[in-house]
Amino acid sequence: MFLSNIQHVYAYWGMSVLFLSFGTASSHQLRKDLTSHPNWKLLDRGDDCGHNVADRIIGGDEATLGQYPWIARLGYTYELDESNSVDTYECGGTIINSLYILTAAHCSPDIVMLQLAEVRLGEHNVTSDPDCVDGVCAPPVQDIVVDEYLCHEDYDTKSYQNDICLLRLANPIQFNNYVTPICLPAYDTFLKASFDSSTMEVAGWGVTDIVTGKASTILLTLRVPIKTQFLCELAYSGRSEIINKQMCAGGVIGKDSCSGDSGGPLMAPFALNAPPRYFVVGIVSFGPRQCANTNTPGVYTKVSEYMAWILDNIRE
C-alpha cells in the first residue's frame, strides 16, 4: 500500500486531486464505527462539505479569495494591565460543523497563557473587511466568541502527541460561499491508505520571514510533500518520538508552515464516490526551530486517528 494506492490528476478544476485506488471508485465506505455513533448526525453533511467558490507559511503563494472557506483564525486577548489589553491572532483552525472548530491542543489558553476570546471566519486580507478581488466581494468576516474548549486528555506538551483540540462556539456559524466546513476523514480508506510521496496543502497567515518575525497580511497557501513514516521518525530521532497518530510533511528549504499557522489544516481534495472535495488530513503541530531553514519536515496530528474522539466530544 504505497505509491500505487494514490493517483494524481492535475487537470481537474486546476487542483491536484488525490484518487485513492482501493478497489473500485464506489468501494470507499464510511466507517461503521463512526456512522453508528449517536453524534454522527452532527458531522454528517453528505457531500455538502469541502467545496470552495472556485471549486504556518514560508515560501507560499497568495490564496485566491474563498479558496479555503473552512480556515479559522483564533483570536486571543493579552492583558497589559487591569484596564488595557491587546488582541492578537496566534493560531489557526478548521470549521467542521456550525458550532465546532478543530485545532491543536498547543493552541489552547492553558498552553499559550492567553485568553482565547473568539474565532474569525471568512478572513482573507487582514487589512480589509470586506475582502474584494476584481470587483467580487466576500461578506464581512464573522467573529464568534469561543464558549468552551476541550483538548485531548493525553496531550503531551513535550512530544506533542495527541495535539488536538475542539473549540465550541457561543453562536452557530452562518455558512455562505466563503465560510463552509471541510470534510472529515471518516472513510475507511483513510485508515488504509499511505499518502507517502503525495502532495497536500497548508494555508495560513503565519510568519513569512524568520529573521524579522513578520507575518503575512493575506492568506497564503503552500503545497508540501508527505514523508514516509520511516523518514518522519528518522528526522526526529533523538529529539521526539513520532507515533503512528502523527505524520510528516514538508522538509523543503524555504517552504514550510510557521508560527501563526499552528493548529491549521493539512488538507487535500479527494475524489471518493463523488466529485473532488477537500478533506482535513492533519493538524499543524510542530517542526524545527529554524522554520523552513532546514530539510526537517513539519509534524502533523493525523485526524483520521481521532475521529472517534471527535465524535465523543461534540454535542448539539
Q: Which amino acids are annotated catalytic?
A: 106, 163, 262
CA 91 to the chain's CA centroid: 11
Residues 224 and 250 sit within 8 Å (Cβ to Cβ)? yes
Residue 99's SS3 state is: coil
Rounded-to-integer distance, Cα 226 and Cα 214, Å = 27
Rounded-to-integer distance, Cα 63 and Cα 238, Å = 37
Residues 21 and 254 sit within 8 Å (Cβ to Cβ)? no
Rounded-to-integer distance, Cα 266 and Cα 200, Å = 7
For 310, phi and psi rounded to 5 degrees?
A: -60, -50
For 62, phi and psi rounded to 5 degrees?
A: -65, 135
Q: Please list the residues that pair with 209 across neighbouring strands.
A: 214
CA 90 to the chain's CA centroid: 14
First to last CA, the chain: 38
Q: Give the ranges where 160-304 is alpha helix by DSSP (H).
A: 189-192, 229-235
Residues 18 and 4 sit within 8 Å (Cβ to Cβ)? no
Q: Look up cell 497589559; give the residue.
A: 80
Rounded-to-integer distance, Cα 247 and Cα 300, Å = 5
Measured CA to CA in angstroms, residue 181 lies from 164, 184, 299, 309 at distances of: 17, 9, 23, 19
